[in-house]
Structure 1
Amino acid sequence: MKPGERWEFAAFWSGEVLWDVSMARYSTLRTGGPAEALVTVTHLAELKKLLAWLEERCIPWRVVGRGSNILVRSKGFAGVIIQLRGEFNHVIRLEESVEMGSDPVFVRAGAGCSVAKLVAWCTNHALGGMEFMAGIPGSVGGAVRMNAGAWGRAMADSLRSIILIDRLGQVMEVDHSGLRPGYRRMELAQASLDDLIVVAATFVLKRGRQREILRKCRENLKKRREKQPANMASAGSFFKNPEGDSAGRLIDAAGLKGLRHGQAMVSPDHANFLVNIGGATPEDILSLAGEVRERVYQKFGIWLEPEVHII
């Protein structure tokens, strides 16, 4: 922000704000440079007001979810990081599907809601369709933006619509026909998602037996835990899988398990996990990722694309 704008913002904003905050506290990689301001927004009306204020002054901003897929460079972010909480954490069943025995059931979740909370809510209400997301970290908004998934399924498979807000505070709902999902990305048919914020998503689910839904969730959790490193900070899978192959297989075949740069390491348990073994800097992570990409390219002629968003 320009000189004096911090004072102006303090007078304007009545909600929670933290200044010059280390993003290591808000990233599952447990590393990251400082954000000039971290703002918690709890209501849609607040978000509209905040976006209008920032846009009027050309102040950069970025929405982050639960920090499971981001890495902020050491130089930090000169602007406002926005977290969605409060009403953005809700999960509700829409009235049009409340009749007993009706299928499908439409469930709306706020973008700030954790994926874990959504899966638990669906399980508790005996609604099937989200079991494949069990154990996947992050927020609903982030999961929609990257079309997260596992076991051959992705968020787009269960989406009915998403609710968005643009930089001018205009709210719109885009149904499934207006979405163009891809591997680890979500696009719109008529616009770019780059300047839009996901504020909620509606899912199409089916009634089922709670015991069976819980069994599937536990099974998926078990499979994830068996394959992934435990008790180490990471961002999950660091690279996207190239078409027809696995990033983890390529990294492993290149002999890179255990490779270290500073306090960052390619996990010996899962080659597509770059882990912070204690005190890694963003440069450690990025340097390690760079060498992994280079050596995989040298051996296989394939450039791995990061799944993690570098800020």
Structure 2
Amino acid sequence: MLQVQIFRKKVEATDILSFELRALGTDELPPFSAGAHIDVHMPNGITRQYSLCNSPEERHRYVIGVLKDPASRGGSISMHSDLCVGGLITISEPRNLFPLHESGDKHLLFAGGIGITPILAMAHTLHQRGADFELHYCYRASDRAAFIDYLKTADFSDCVYLHDDSGPDDQRINAHELLANPQPDAHLYVCGPGGFMNYILEAAAEHRWPEPQVHREFFAAGPVSHDGDQPFEVELAKSGQVFEIPADRTVFEVLDECGIEIPSSCEQGVCGSCITRVLQGIPDHRDQFMTVAEHARNDQFTPCCSRSKSSRLVLDL
């Protein structure tokens, strides 16, 4: 864990603030790569994950963007209301579950709303590499576009395409046109609200983009119906312990309560932190982190949200 100071708190758009976090004293912060995020431990006891959006070459600061979500469970509201410039806050070291593909010849970056945060860090890195890339940023209205002034004046502004949903039709995004001809060494990255993500990903699938060339990061899980959920058993292969998972509880909740530690972060199936190897049984995948091909292999699952189609899952724990 790291303790950092809030050096700047700035309004970036309606309901979106940026926070510049700096190391105490003159110490540099741990390095990070484009697409990385940090866990922020808030005064109210809630922990949330926020993507780093500044250049990874900057070692003196981390910059995050935070949308005040009307459906917040207390995280974003606390960030907006409780944190002040000069205050101290505890964060984790950066982790990256949404990295740039090192060998791609062409990179297409798609961001919707607050999803610009990891995409912005990617643009910094690709520009510094001299890579061929495009950044397409979509937003509902100009007052809700985070970092818009920076994007218009950045060194890589000639690679930025802005798509205002409230503007003229000719500048709105057409994913089918942009993704119509996938190239062997092109990579696609997408981050934003669920509807936007699905639109881009469905267009990529329709135009037969290979899954290894499509990279995504969801910020929140979509709605999941729990009608028909049934209890099942989980067996831990290393100890032989067996646990009953009730219909209204997750594997993570039951194991955590019994002192079985599993790394966890989002608890919604979007970050991949808790992925656990499955040795026997058939998972009922409910995450948005793994690909269709990874789901089909049924050799791992996310205990924070996924369940079981079989009566028992044997886990590599």
TM over 0.5: no
Larger RCO of the pair (alpha carbons < 8 Å, separation 6+): 1
**Length-normalised TM-score, structure 2:** 0.26
